[in-house]
Amino acid sequence: MITVGHLINGQSIDDGQRYQDVFNPATGEVGKRVAIAPKATVEQAIAAAEAAFPEWRNTPPIKRARVMFRFKELLEQNAEQICKLIGEEHGKISHDAMGELQRGIENVEYACGAPELLKGEHSKNVGPNIDSWSEFQPLGVVAGITPFNFPVMVPLWMFPMAIVCGNCFVLKPSERDPSATLFIAQLLQEAGLPNGVMNVVNGDKEAVDTLLHDSRVQAVSFVGSTPIAEYIYKTANANGKRCQALGGAKNHAIVMPDADMDNAVNQLLGAAFGSSGERCMALSVAVAVGDAAADALVAKMQEAMKNLKVGAYTDSRNDFGPVITRQHQQKVVGYIDSAEADGAKVVVDGRNPQVPGYENGFYVGGTLIDNVNPEMLSYKEEIFGPVLQVVRVGSMQEAMDLIDAHEYGNGTCIFTRDGEAARYFTDNVKVGMVGVNVPLPVPVAYHSFGGWKRSLFGDLHAYGPDAVRFYTRRKMITQRWPSAGVREGVSFSMPTMK
């Protein structure tokens, strides 16, 4: 059986102590096993990063950027292999995996601009013969902890920018689908990155806690569920670390009576069921304003969902694949059962999809549930599966109040032709990422990604301009070179310029 190990100081490592099965969710079979790093192995990775830092921080930004240019080329040249690895362990259909990779590559492209992004600000003669400027200096050893649902894109949110800023990185990817993450890290080594600058350790809570408590780690970036995000944020802060922890979501789409209903349905299909709903930006709740809009939406969704195809990643004609594990499959089905028991109407039932030849895979079909209300468990919690729930309200304000009252504030959108309504919505809704007729308002690489409320712990968002701030410290330098022979008197007053 293939064993997925670690990458430490440029070398593949198998510490040979504990292992965990890695499943192919399309078939339900064990495909590989992954080494689970003990504390000593994680400490070895941290030590490698610490040893590499002095030379790397003094490497000119343009040389760091050139590594990223070569890395981008290697990602593109190996795209088919990367997507195959994603499909084998996550179950994501090939076209969806390619989209994930492309969004990740865009973050590498942004990181290639490091010489420009790291320029400080300079002011001459802020006082007599006094100049002042700022610099962005790296933190040192930084860590990333990434989720199963985007084994390539989310790591590419983190380590390219951290590394071009002059830091050294330790990445702990999801142990459920580790191969694609490890492969792209190996491509970064091939691109010319010095040993020790990038390290990957596969593991569980022991590995995470080691990163959170080790004083050599200066900052931690995390993407995952809200309970874990909160734990990581509090623990990292208690240990004096900078931390950004992105948590869960319950993303609503308001469907106004004047919406282009056919367009809304097409957009909701992809946003709700793409990647089996295993996205923190998945639209899981459609809030229909008025029964007429709700009836039209449900009828058109029901008809459109007849054409949804769930199946294995190898067939690009499929729309989405399985969920990640048997346990998660049962959890998603449990939420559907719960909604039905609470009085909601299951309009399209995906609890027992038939996938010929893949009967043991972890599949849940596209599911549409009507007449959901905010008191139901299935509404309150993040399902993280291919389930779209419809809530009926009487007004746009009622819809916004519903969104604002939810504990999560990651993403939302409105479907409307009314510019005034759209402007009011974008100005006032209490959510971090907002779309107008755009159901997945994921910012491009040169903006930053992050939600509000319990969807984000920390002040800075992921990637884009905020990443430069997160992975560096600003240092202000004020310098004076008095003229020869000029001696100034003593002053005990606060220096000012009048």
For 417-454, the pLDDT digits (tens) are 999 999 999 999 999 999 999 999 999 999 999 999 99
* Cα(380)–Cα(384) distance, integer angstroms: 12
Residue 448 is given by DSSP the state: -
- What confidence score (pLDDT) does residue 31 get? 92
Q: Parallel, antiparallel, or unpaired for β 217-223 and 283-289?
A: unpaired
Kindly state which CATH superfamily the domain 251-436 is placed in.
Aldehyde Dehydrogenase; Chain A, domain 2 (3.40.309.10)
Closest CA to 471 of 302, 266, 242, 261: 242
* 484 pLDDT more than 80: no
How far are the Cα atoms of 1, 178, 180, 188, 490 from residue 185, in angstroms, in the given order? 22, 11, 9, 5, 57
* 498 pLDDT more than 80: no
Helices and strands: H and E segment counts in the chain: 16, 23
- What confidence score (pLDDT) does residue 272 get? 97
- What confidence score (pLDDT) does residue 1 get? 85
pLDDT band at residue 333 using 50, 70 and 90 as cut-offs: very high
Burial of 354 (0-12, 13-18, 19+ CB in 10 A): exposed
Helix crossing, 94-111 with 153-164: angle to 10°? Answer: 10
Question: Which one-letter amino acid corresponds to residue 371?
Answer: N
* Mean pLDDT across 331-336: 98
Cα-to-chain-centroid distance, residue 201: 19
Q: What is the DSSP string of 104-148?
A: HHHHHHHHTTHHHHT---EEEEEETTEEEEEEEEE-SEEEEE--S
Model confidence, pTM: 0.95
Closest CA to 395 of 282, 287, 276: 287
- Mapping DSSP to helix (H, G, I), strand (E, B) and coil, where does residue 245 land? strand
Q: What is the pLDDT of residues 93-146, one digit of tens each?
A: 999 999 999 999 999 999 999 999 999 899 998 888 889 999 999 999 999 999
Strands in 18-24's sheet, in edge-to-edge order, are 2-4, 29-36, 18-24
Domain residue spans of the chain: 2-247+455-477, 251-436
Q: What is the pLDDT of residues 224-244, one digit of tens each?
A: 999 999 999 999 999 999 999
pLDDT band at residue 41 using 50, 70 and 90 as cut-offs: very high
- What confidence score (pLDDT) does residue 428 get? 98
Q: What is the pLDDT of residues 152-205, one digit of tens each?
A: 999 999 999 999 999 999 999 999 999 999 999 999 999 999 999 999 999 999
According to DSSP, the residues that pair with 65 across neighbouring strands are none
* Cα(143)–Cα(121) distance, integer angstroms: 28
Angle (nearest 5°) at CA 247 between 41 and 376: 130
Percent of the chain at pLDDT > 90 equals 94
Residue 15 is given by DSSP the state: -
Q: Which residues are catalytic?
A: 280
According to DSSP, the residues that pair with 272 across neighbouring strands are none
CATH fold of 2-247+455-477? Aldehyde Dehydrogenase; Chain A, domain 1 (3.40.605)
* Cα(187)–Cα(79) distance, integer angstroms: 11
Q: What is the pLDDT of residues 141-161, one digit of tens each?
A: 999 999 999 999 999 999 999
Q: Parallel, antiparallel, or unpaired for β 11-13 and 433-436?
A: unpaired
Residue 181 is given by DSSP the state: H
* 369 pLDDT more than 90: yes
Question: Which one-letter amino acid corresponds to residue 214?
Answer: D
What residues contact residue 155 under an 8 Å CB cut-off, 6+ apart? 104, 144, 146, 171, 173, 181, 184, 185
- For all residues of the chain together, what is the average pLDDT? 96
Q: What is the pLDDT of residues 285-312, one digit of tens each?
A: 999 999 999 999 999 999 999 999 999 9
Same fold, 2-247+455-477 and 251-436: no
- What confidence score (pLDDT) does residue 493 get? 80
Assess contact for 318 and 312: CB atoms under 8 A. Answer: yes
* 394 pLDDT more than 90: yes
pLDDT band at residue 489 using 50, 70 and 90 as cut-offs: confident
pLDDT band at residue 491 using 50, 70 and 90 as cut-offs: confident
* Cα(142)–Cα(217) distance, integer angstroms: 5
22 phi/psi in degrees, rounded to 5: -115, 120
- What confidence score (pLDDT) does residue 237 get? 97
- What confidence score (pLDDT) does residue 494 get? 80
